[in-house]
Amino acid sequence: MNFTAIFALTFGIILVFASEKFDGGSLRMLIQPVAFCIVIGGSFCASLLNFNFSTLKRAFKSVKEVFFKEEDDSKRILEEIIQIAYFSRRNGLLAVQEFLNQVSNPFLARGMQLAIDVDNPTLVYDILSAEIAYEEEEEIISSRVFEALGGYAPTFGVVGAVIGLIQVMQDIQNLQMVGVGIATAFVATLYGVGFANLIFLPIAGNLKQKTRDKILLKELVLQGIISIQMQENPAVIEEKLVAYYRFHHKTLRTGARA
């Protein structure tokens, strides 16, 4: 589990409620079902107009990626690429086909099979690049959904506040209730800004970063496949791939020669 993300979300929510309590307010003032329905319901309805239902469903399923860490297998994949490079250099590219079923990364296995079948590095590069671009577009859409929610929520918070103020103005003669009514109205604004900046936008940023990491790894694999197909020196391939990925894993060394 990603305890950092869980802690950040939990502590952020507690901080908001604690601030209200320490300031002498009532926690019940922050619990407004009508304001919640306006902000969350309105935001999701607007998102449903912007995106189709299947896209929203996929986006909400991807939230688990924020709170549950996936195993980082980048080093193992790099080791496999270097092993294939040395094996191919000694035995030829066709011999690589014998153990492709043992390769852990499906994209690497599929790409190497394509490199064996298609004796044209440019064509192989174009095909795999198109696959990467398509996957990036598929992955990034989830973060766009939460970015949209982060934009809608504050607006519907204002809508909720305006509705609350309209109700207050209808009973303006009851001065005792005006202050309470205004405070209640602005809870909707708090919901809108809070959900946007504490939940929706951070989730969008997290998903976007995970997409970048996945695409970076696939681009790295693609570079390795093309280099192997062109029969480059395995030592050069290793240095090139490590340099390509160093900014993500600063101390990465494969040790795959052994």
Locate tokens 């197909």: which residue?
A: 229
Count of domains for the chain: 2
Question: Does one domain contain both 219 and 168?
Answer: yes
Per-residue model confidence as pLDDT tens digits over 133-170: 999 998 899 999 999 999 999 999 999 999 888 877 87
79, part of any domain? no
Average pLDDT over residues 91-104: 88
Question: Does one domain contain both 9 and 121?
Answer: no
154, part of any domain? yes
Question: Does one domain contain both 111 and 168?
Answer: yes
- pLDDT in the model for residue 99: 80
Question: Does one domain contain both 130 and 214?
Answer: yes
Question: Does one domain contain both 22 and 117?
Answer: no
Question: Does one domain contain both 8 and 61?
Answer: no
Per-residue model confidence as pLDDT tens digits over 213-238: 889 899 999 999 999 999 999 999 88
13, part of any domain? yes
- pLDDT in the model for residue 248: 61
What percent of the chain stands above pLDDT 70? 90
Full domain range(s) for residue 207: 32-67+91-258
78, part of any domain? no
Mean per-residue pLDDT of the chain: 87
Question: Does one domain contain both 41 and 56?
Answer: yes
Residue with the larger pLDDT of the pair 22 and 236: 236
Question: Does one domain contain both 37 and 126?
Answer: yes
193-197 own/partner pairs: CB under 8 Å, 24+ apart: 193/153, 193/154, 193/157, 194/16, 195/39, 195/40, 195/43, 195/149, 195/153, 196/149, 196/150, 196/151, 196/153, 196/154, 197/150
Question: Does one domain contain both 227 and 113?
Answer: yes
- Residues 6 or more apart whose CB falls under 8 angstroms from that of 189 comprise 154, 157, 158, 160, 161
84, part of any domain? no
